[in-house]
Homo-oligomer: A and B are copies of this chain.
Amino acid sequence: MPSYTAPTKDAQFVLHDVLKITESGIPGYDELEADFTSAILEEAGKISSEVLAPLNAVGDTEGCTLENGVVRTPTGFKAAFDQVKEGGWPGLDMPEEFGGQNMPYVIGTAVGEMFSASNQAFTMYQGLTHGAASAILAHGTDAQKAKWLPNMVSCEWTGTMNLTEPHCGTDLGLMRTKAEPQGDGSFKISGQKIFISAGEHDMAGNIVHLVLAKITGAPEGIKGVSLFIVPKFMVDDDGNMGERNSVSCGKIEEKMGIHGNSTCVMNYDEATGYLLGEEHKGMRAMFTMMNEARLGVGMQGLAQAEVAYQNALEYAKDRLQGRDVTGVKNPDGPADPLIVHPDIRRSLMDQKSFAEGARAFILWGATMIDRAHRGKDQDADGLISLLTPVIKGFLTDQGYDMTVKAQQVYGGHGYIEEWGMSQFTRDARIAQIYEGANGVQALDLVGRKLAQDGGKHVMAFFDLVKTTIGELKGQNEAFDQDFIEPLKAASKDLQAAGMYFMQNGMKDPNNALSGSNDFMHMFGHVCLGLMWAKMAHAAQSALDGGTSDKDFFETKIATGRYYMARQLPATALHLTRIETGAETVMALDAANF
């Protein structure tokens, strides 16, 4: 049975030693002293390890069941959900006026990693609610906010996001769900939505569905889509629960993973709904919290990689198999532990250097969201908008690969469900798909974000790398050689790829789009390289300052050196591929495949 220990110390290191959040000038951050954030993270870590992690396998094994329209969640989920609610966790970064604790998003993200790592399927119930509440917060009328938010912030009621239909996923312009105005401000919503996470379940008094649909007579395509609030139970203006709305779960999907979350086919049969935001601007409303939602999914990639790594490490230390070729390490035992073997080390170092780099990247991204939202900083908004597809696509692709590596450490036992390593890979797999499949993230990055505002944000990113290099370099010779030089080289590769797109994308956009996946990954590597340079620098500063925690900071530098030496050079391969353009990618007629 796998276990989970929250990486509180590492998150604290990133928040305080690396990002120096209290000095960042972001509104609300001055309160985030190390003792304070530590208390929150410790508490979140405790509930993650003690309450959520033990239910992870239960959720996987039992799954959710649908009987007579009622969805039953796995044993123990409801009690744990109550405990999470009592702790006030769902409203951690929600406004106080609706019952939240008004913490910055960066704290919600650090806590979110722990919840997700310990039980992704469980945590999605509150995650979806958070997303739906954010949409109402951003686009609802005052009356709508007052009516729906307090119960959603507390997770008394949960929320959902209804986009996909059987024939349309990415291309939402093909949507068929209809909304007919009733003349009283309400609409009758009819249609079928699929892949609705937490669509129906037994843990909340009500479920607030946010549904994309087309109002009768709306323009064709994506420009005719509006967003609606469609509750499971009607609620009157005094907040009293009324009769059941005509929305129902038609089926629970059998999925590869996240079995503990009920993924529903939802049928809307003239269900009563209320417009959220403006008519025909549903996509815009839905996309307002896209950066947050996608950062949250990227975080899931990190989270599964982290918990899988922890368990792979444990196994590698415990399992005795073979002998160290350079000399016996465990002479009193029948064999040495797996961790003596270089190829096991390589795998563990891949995982460790990814997880720690990704954590810094995610938390840095979260500070940008806070800077944009709380500080109304347009530049931060532009930068996080650029980095969002990288965070989502790169961290979930890599995160998945890391869970596969962790599983591999277990040999045959990794394939047996009882040992729990398979669940990490199966659960991690969804993050590459939902909230915009990673191919769409790459397309968003290269087809839209690069050129956004005249390329201003990507220029700002390169400036930032350059400035950071200028600030960090010269700490000592080894640091420059191990961190600054590789970061420079990788950043140069990334710039060369951008240049290639500019020069060749004009004559044929496919020259850029054929390299989109490679570009997203090389961008991710540069970001992690940047994070590692900052982390190593902070660690060396602590060592130079005579820290009492030498092992931690030395390990941090050694882990960073591994990343820079073994992972970051992938940018060169990505550049090589990108520079071959569209020709070999598009050479075949579809019929000749």
Cβ of A250 within 8 Å of any chain B Cβ, yes or no, is no
List B contacts of A183 (CB < 8 A): none
Give the contacting residue for A517; candidates B346, B509, B559; CB below 8 A: B346
Q: Is A429 an interface residue (CB 8 A)?
A: yes
Partner pick for A590 among B334, B339, B346, CB 8 A cutoff? B339
Answer whether residue A533 sits at the interface, using C-beta atoms and an 8 A cutoff. Answer: no
Q: For A408, give its contact among B321, B408, B439 (CB under 8 Å).
A: B439
Residues of B within 8 A of A554 (CB): 592
A416 pairs with B585, CB closer than 8 A: no
Residues of B within 8 A of A569 (CB): 573, 576-577
Known: A510-B342, A572-B576. A349 touches B414 (CB 8 A): no
Could you tell me if A513 and B322 are in contact, using CB atoms closer than 8 angstroms? no
Cβ contact of A412, chosen from B164, B313, B407, B584, cutoff 8 A:
B164
Assuming the contacts A325-B510, A348-B593, A572-B573, asked whether A415 and B430 have C-beta atoms less than 8 A apart, the reply is yes
Known contacts A418-B254, A429-B415, A433-B414; A345/B439 CB under 8 A: no
**B-contacting residues, A406-422, CB 8 Å:** 407-408, 411-412, 414-418, 422
The answer to whether the Cβ of A289 comes within 8 Å of any Cβ in the partner chain is no
Kindly specify which of A95-103, A148-156, A168-176, A225-233 makes contact with the partner chain: A168-176
Contact across chains for A513 and B343 when beta carbons are under 8 A apart? yes
Q: Which of A340, A342, A551 has most chain B Cβ within 10 Å? A: A342
A339 to B414, CA, bound (A): 35
Docked-complex contact B434 and A412, CB < 8 angstroms: yes
Q: Nearest-CB distance from A202 to chain B (Å)?
A: 23
CB neighbours (8 Å) of A590 from chain B are 317, 337, 339-340
Chain B: which residue is nearest A310 at the CB level?
B593
| Known interface pairs A325-B509, A352-B593, A508-B326; A342-B416 also in contact (CB < 8 Å) | no
Contact residues, A550-593 vs B (CB, 8 A): 551, 554-555, 558-559, 561-562, 565-566, 569-570, 572-573, 576-577, 580, 582, 584-588, 590, 592-593
Task: Tell yes or no: A437 within 8 A of B by CB.
Answer: yes
Quick check: A254 and B412 within 8 Å, CB to CB? no
> Whole-angstrom distance from the CB of A543 to the nearest CB of chain B?
14
Given A169-B411, A349-B585, check contact A343 B565 (CB 8 Å). Answer: no
When the two chains form their complex, are residues B584 and A565 in contact, meaning their CB atoms are under 8 A apart? yes
Total A residues in contact with B, Cβ cutoff 8 Å: 94
CB < 8 Å: which of B195, B412, B558 contacts A195? B412
Q: Which positions 175-197 of chain A face chain B at CB distance < 8 Å?
A: 194-195
Decide yes or no: A349 and B422 within 8 Å by CB, A335-B171, A408-B437 being known contacts. no
A122 to chain B, nearest CB (A): 18
| Shortest Cβ gap from A505 to chain B (Å) | 10
Q: Are B565 and A335 in contact (CB under 8 A)?
A: no
Q: Decide yes or no whether A88 CB sits under 8 A from chain B.
A: no
0 or 1 for each of A501-536: is its CB under 8 Å from B? (1 = yes): 000000011100110110000000000000000000
Query: Which of these, B334, B429, B566, B585, contacts A580 with CB under 8 Å?
Result: B566
Which B residues lie within 8 Å of A206 (CB)?
Answer: none
A255 at the interface (CB under 8 A from B): yes
Q: Which of B194, B342, B418, B588 contacts A585 (CB 8 A)?
A: B342
- Hey, which chain B residues are within 8 Å of A345, CB to CB? 514, 585-586
The verdict on A7 contacting chain B, using a C-beta distance below 8 Å, is no
Partner of A562, one of B195, B346, B585: B585
B432 touches A321 (CB 8 A): no
Least CB distance from A304 to B in Å reads 14
Is A341 among interface residues, defined by CB-CB distance under 8 A? yes
With A168-B321, A433-B415 known as contacts, the answer to whether A334 contacts B573 (CB < 8 A) is no
A253 interface residue per 8 A CB criterion: yes
- Contacts A433-B408, A513-B325 given; does A439 touch B343 at CB 8 Å: yes
**A255 with B415: CB separation less than 8 A:** yes
User: Is A347 an interface residue, CB under 8 A from the partner?
Assistant: yes
CA distance in complex: A162, B228 (Å): 60
Q: Report chain B residues within 8 Å CB of A566.
A: 577, 580, 584-585
CB distance from A288 to the nearest CB of B (A): 22
Closest CB in chain B relative to A4 CB, distance in Å: 16
Asked if A286 is an interface residue, CB under 8 A from chain B, the answer is: no
Q: How far is the CA of A84 from the CA of B576 in the complex (A)?
A: 47
Residues on B with C-beta less than 8 A from A341 are 439, 443, 513
Which residues of the other chain, B, contact A257 by a CB distance below 8 angstroms? 415
Does chain B have a CB within 8 A of A56? no
User: In the bound complex, how far is the Cα of B349 from the Cα of A580, in angstroms?
Assistant: 14
Closest to A258 in B: B415
Given B340, B433, B555, which contacts A592 in the complex, CB threshold below 8 Å? B555
User: Given that A439-B408, A558-B588, A569-B576 are contacting pairs, would A322 and B171 also be in contact in the complex, using a CB cutoff of 8 Å?
Assistant: yes
Cβ-defined contact, A561 with B587, below 8 A: yes
Tell me if A438 counts as interface (CB < 8 A to partner B).
yes
Given contacts A164-B412, A169-B411, 10 further A-B contacts (CB under 8 A): A168-B321, A169-B321, A174-B334, A195-B412, A254-B416, A339-B590, A347-B517, A562-B584, A566-B580, A573-B573
List 26 A-B pairs, Cβ < 8 Å.
A171-B321, A174-B320, A255-B422, A256-B415, A325-B509, A325-B510, A341-B443, A342-B582, A342-B585, A342-B586, A343-B439, A343-B442, A345-B586, A346-B517, A408-B432, A408-B438, A408-B439, A411-B433, A411-B437, A412-B434, A551-B592, A555-B588, A562-B584, A566-B584, A569-B577, A572-B573
Question: 4 closest pairs, A vs B, by CB?
Answer: A342-B513, A256-B422, A562-B584, A558-B587
